A and B are shown apart, each in its own frame.
Chain A
C-alpha cells in the first residue's frame, strides 16, 4: 500500500503541462428582444494567437451545411419533411452575427444579416478601445478576474477579464485587455455576455462560411438600415415582394428602451 502511495505521489508530482494555444469559450448571451422578451442564446468564441471567431453555434452549423450543395439539398428536404411548431422550432439562423478578428492584419470584420436574408459586412481596425482599470475582482469559472470599463460605440461596458489566460480577446467586438474577458455587462442591463464553458481547441479556426453572400456596407449605414426595417418590417416586405401587408401587421412595436449593441448610428 505504501509503495502504491509513493508511486502515486511521484506520478502526480511529475505533472507536466503541454502547450495549448487556442481556446474555445462558450458565452451565455443574455439580452432583451425588440419586443422586450428576455432571451438567452449560446455564443462561441474560438481564439488562436492570430485569429478569432465569435458566433452562434446553430447559425454556424447551418451555414456550414449550406456551404455544400449536397448537404444543403438534404437540409432543405429535411426542413420540408416535418411539421414544426413553437415547441419544436425548426433549426434556423436565430442569432446571425459573426465577428472575426485578425491580429496579423489588425482588422476586425463584423457580419450581419438584415431582414432575414440580406447579408452585409464591414471592417474596423482592431484595438482602439480605451479601457479603464477598476479595483474590484470576481471569480468566474474558477478564474480570478479583474474589472475594467470602457465606452464603446454608444454604450458603457463593464467587463471582468482574467490575466490567468493571457488572450486579448472577449465576446463580440470587445478585446484588447491583458486577459480573456469572461463577462461583459452593458450599463442598461440590456446586453450581457457570461462565459459558461472553456476548453482547449485543437482544430483550425474555421472562417465564416459563405462569405461571398455578404456585401460590404458602412457600419453606421448598416445599423440605420436595420433600424429602418425593424421599425417598418411590413412595409419592407410589401416593397420587397409586392404583397400588400395589412396595416395592423405592418410594424413591430419596438420597446422604447430597446436598441442595438451599438447605439452611435443615429
Chain B
C-alpha cells in the first residue's frame, strides 16, 4: 500500500511537472559579439526561425549586445543572428543552453544598390547641381570623365564643355575663375574624388555689374570641392613606362598635378609628358579666346599625312610635354591671376600610296612615300587683374603667345621632294575694360584693346634637283578704344557704344625661282591699313521671362593701301535681333537673326603668288571687296532635373554673298588657287538635337544625339563653274552604368554619312561607323580590370567597307586609397597598318597608313 501510495504521488508530481513544463516558456537569450574586436554589437537582428522557415519570434540586441525573448518551444528551431556588414549566423536551438554567445564575422552583406536619386541632380532656381559621386564610375579618373556622364553636359574630345548644346561661358572652381578658357587643365587634371558637386548656373552673367541689366543665354560651371580638397594642397601623379611594338622602343606616360584652393590663393600646376599618342597641346587650349584683332593667318601649310576616321590616340606618333602653372591671389576686393603654359609636341607620320593607271599599253604605276616630322613649341603667358562687383567691374589682361613650329616632310617615289617649313608666331596683347554702375540704372564702360602680331614664314622645297624657297613677312598691329553708356529702367536697357579702331598690316612675300609653268608675279609688298569709327546702339527689353534684344552696329571705315590699291571709304550696318523666352524653369527657347555687310578678309589682298606647299600656290585678290551675309537661328531646350531628362535642339540657316569666287587651276603637277571676279553665293543649314536621361536603376546615364548639315559653295575649277553641296548626317548613342556591383560599362556608338554633289551630280553616300565598349570588372575593391574594344567600319567607296577592330586591356591594383599600380596592354592584336585599296574604271589607289602597335605600359599612381 505504502509503495503504491508513493508511486501514485510520483506519478502525480511527474504529471504536474510535465504539465507545467508544457506551458513554461523557454528564455532564448544571449549576447552578440564581434569575433574580431570581441566587442558587443548593438542592433543585431535576432530571429527564432521555426522548422517551417517562418519567423516565430524576433528581437534585436540592445546597447550591451544582449538579446532576450521567450518562446514556448525551440524544438527544430534555428536562431538567426545577422547585422549589416557581418555574416549571418545560424544556430540550431535543439541542443544549446542559454545564454548564448553569438560571434559574428565581418563581411558579407551585399547591397543591391538602386541609386538614391533625390540627390543625384538637384535644381534650385537657375542652378542645377549634379552630385559627382552618383555619376562617377570606378574607371573614371578626372572630373572630365564624370562630366561626360552627366545628362545635359557634353564634353567634346578637345575638352570643351557644352551645356544643353551651347558652350559654357565660365568655368569656376569654388566660385573663382582661375583658369579662364583653359579649363581643360582642370577637367583633365582634377581628380573626381576631390569634387563633391558640379553646379551649372544657367543664364549666367559673369559680370556682376551687368546682372539684371544684360541677359546671358550661356551657362557657367562651378566645381564644388570636398572639404578634404579645400584649404590645402592636393597632389596626384602618375609615372608609367613600357614597351611598344610599333614604333619599336620604350614608351612613357607621366603626370604631376598639384592644386591648392585656399581662401586667398588658388593654384593649379601640372606637368605632363608622354609618347603614347596623347595629344597634350589641346589641353592648354583657351576655349574662350576670341578671334585676334590682328587677324593674321598662315599662308604656308605643310601638313603631315593622317589616318582618316580613326581615333587620334591610335595614329599619333608623338613625344609631348606640357607644363602649366596658374595662380590666383585675392587682393582686397579684386583678384590677380598669372598663367604660364609651355607645350612641346613632336609628331612623326608616314604614308605610302600606290596609284596604278590601267592603260592600253600596260599599267603605269606611280608610287609616293611620305615621311614627316613636325616639332612645335608653344609658350603663353597671361597676367590678369579683375575686380568684379555689383557696382564696378575692372579687368586688365596682358597676354602673350609665342609659337615655334618646324615641319619637315619628305616624299620619295615617282615625284621625290623634300619640304621644310618654319612658321613661328609672336603675339602680344593687352585688354582693358572698366564698367561702372551708378544709381543701379546707369552704366558707363571703357574698353581698350591693343594687339601686335608677327608671323614670319619660310618654306623650302627641293624637287628634281630644283630648289624653291618661299619667304613671308607678315606683321599687324590692332587697336580698339571704345566707351559706352547704358541705362536701364523697368527692364528696358538702352546702350550706346562708340569707339575707334585702327589696323596696320604689312605683308612682304618673295618666291624666287618659281616654276615657269605658272604665270604671274611672285612677290607681294603690301600695307593694308584701316581706321574705323563705330557706334553700336543696343536696345534690350527684359521682363520676367522674356528677353528681347536689338543690336544695330554702324561704322565708317577708311582703308589705305599705300598706293598698291586705291584708298576706300565704306559704311557698314549690320543689325541683329534676338528673342529669348523662358516660360518656366523647364523650357526655354530663343530665335535670332541678323543681316549685314562686312569688309573682306584683308589677308586675301595678295596679288602675287605664294607657295603654300610643294604642289600648291595661292594668289588672293587685287582689289578691295565687301561681302554680305544673313542668318537666322532657333534653339529649344527642355529639362526636368528631378527625372534627369535634358533635351535640346537647334537649327541655323545662313547665306553669304561674295563678289569674288575661289578658282582652282592645274598647271602640270601644280595646283593654283586664286580668286576670280565673279559673284559667289554660299548657303549653310545646320540642325542638331540631343536627349540625355539618367538611368538611376544602374547609376548610369544615356544620351542620344543627331545632326544634319548641308553646305553649298561655289567655286571655279579648271575655268568651269562648280556648285558643290556637301551633306552630312550623323547620329550617336552613349550609355553607361553599373548594372552589377562588380561591373560597370561605357558604350558609345557613332555613325555619320556624307555625300558631295557637284553641279547636280551626286556621288554616293559614304558612311562611317564607330563602336566603343569598355567593361570594368571590379572583383574586389582593390582590383579593377578594364577590357575595351573599338570597332570602326569606314566606307571607302560605295559598298566597300574597311573594318578595324582594336582591343585593349588594363589591370589596376589599388594598394590603398593613395597608391595604385596598373598594367595596360593596348592594341592586343598588334594591328600595325591601316591599308585600303579603291578602284575605278581607269585606276586603282592603294594606301597604307601606320597605327600605333601593341603597347605595354606599367604605371604607378600616387595621390595626396
Contacts and interface: CB of A to CB of B under 8 A. Distances in A.
Interface in A157-212: 163, 165-168, 176-179, 196-200
Contact of A16 (B60, B83, B780): B780
Contacts of A23: 84, 111
Contact of A91 (B63, B106, B118, B125): B125
Contact of A198 (B46, B107, B111, B584): B111
A84 B585 CA distance: 10
Contacts of A42: 118
Contact of A166 (B59, B84, B107, B117): B84
B108 A17 contact: yes
B114 A104 contact: no
B717 interface: no
Contacts of A57: 118-119, 122
Contacts of B125: 78, 82, 84, 88, 90-91
A19 B507 CA distance: 72
Q: Is the interface of A mostly helix, strand, loop or mixed?
A: loop
B116 interface: yes
Given A49-B43, A146-B55, A20 B780 contact: no
B112 A141 contact: yes
B43 A11 contact: no
B83 A166 contact: yes
A6 interface: no
B118 A104 contact: no
B118 A165 contact: no
A21 B116 contact: no
A166 B82 contact: yes
B306 interface: no
A200 B84 CA distance: 11
Contacts of A61: 122
A17 B124 contact: no
B765 interface: no
Contact of B43 (A15, A103, A163, A165): A103
Contacts of A165: 84, 109, 111
B83 A196 contact: no
Given A133-B54, A166-B44, A200 B60 contact: no
Contacts, number: 140
A166 B42 CA distance: 12
A197 B84 contact: no
Interface in A18-43: 18-26, 42
Interface string B130-144: 000000000000000
Interface string B373-393: 000000000000000000000
A252 B565 CA distance: 84
Contact of B41 (A12, A14, A49): A49
A61 to B, nearest CB: 8
Interface residues of A, number: 55
B432 interface: no
Contacts of A232: none
Given A16-B780, A166-B84, A87 B43 contact: no
Interface string B55-75: 100111011000000000000
A142 interface: yes
B63 A104 contact: yes
A82 B545 CA distance: 11
A57 B113 CA distance: 19
Interface in B560-596: 583-586
A106 interface: yes
Interface string B73-86: 00000001011111
Interface in B689-734: 696
A12 B124 contact: no
Interface in B522-576: 544
B114 A141 contact: yes
A8 B116 CA distance: 30
Contacts of B84: 20-23, 49, 165-167
Contact of A178 (B47, B111, B696, B785): B47
A19 B105 CA distance: 10
Contact of B114 (A17, A19, A167, A196): A196
B115 interface: yes
A211 to B, nearest CB: 22
Contacts of B115: 197, 199
B96 interface: no
A83 interface: yes
A199 B106 CA distance: 19
A25 B111 CA distance: 11
Interface residues of B, number: 53
Interface string A125-153: 00000000101000001110010000000
B110 interface: yes
Contacts of B780: 14-16
B45 interface: yes
A67 interface: no
A99 interface: no
Contact of B58 (A84, A143, A178): A178
Contacts of B742: 12, 15
A197 B698 CA distance: 11
Contacts of B62: 106
A199 to B, nearest CB: 5
Contacts of B857: none
A44 interface: yes
Interface string B765-787: 00000000000010111010101
Contacts of A225: none
Contacts of B80: 163
Contact of B112 (A84, A135, A143, A146): A143
Interface string A64-85: 0000000000000010001111
A258 B570 CA distance: 77
Nearest to A24: B116
A4 B43 CA distance: 44
Contacts of B584: 85, 87-88
A263 interface: no
B117 A104 contact: no
Given A87-B585, A166-B83, A178-B46, A19 B118 contact: no
Contacts of B109: 17, 19-20, 165-166
B205 to A, nearest CB: 12
A50 B115 CA distance: 23
Nearest to A167: B84
B640 to A, nearest CB: 12
Contact of A26 (B55, B118, B126, B781): B118
A25 B47 contact: no
A26 B117 contact: yes
Contacts of B106: 19
A16 B58 contact: no
Contacts of A15: 742, 779-780
Contacts of B41: 49
Contacts of A176: 60
B585 A88 contact: yes
A91 B58 CA distance: 43
B779 A12 contact: yes
Nearest to B54: A133
Contact of A199 (B111, B583, B777, B783): B111
18 contacts: A11-B785, A17-B107, A17-B110, A19-B85, A25-B116, A26-B117, A49-B44, A88-B125, A88-B585, A104-B63, A141-B112, A142-B112, A143-B112, A166-B44, A166-B83, A198-B112, A199-B113, A199-B116
The 7 closest A-B pairs by CB, nearest first: A87-B584, A166-B45, A197-B116, A19-B85, A166-B82, A42-B118, A21-B85
Interface of B: 41-47, 54-55, 58-60, 62-63, 80, 82-86, 88, 106-119, 122, 124-126, 544, 583-586, 696, 742, 777, 779-781, 783, 785, 787
Given A133-B55, A135-B54, 4 more contacts: A12-B779, A15-B780, A49-B43, A200-B113
Interface of A: 4, 8, 11-12, 14-26, 42, 44, 49-50, 57, 61, 78, 82-85, 87-88, 90-91, 103-104, 106, 133, 135, 141-143, 146, 163, 165-168, 176-179, 196-200
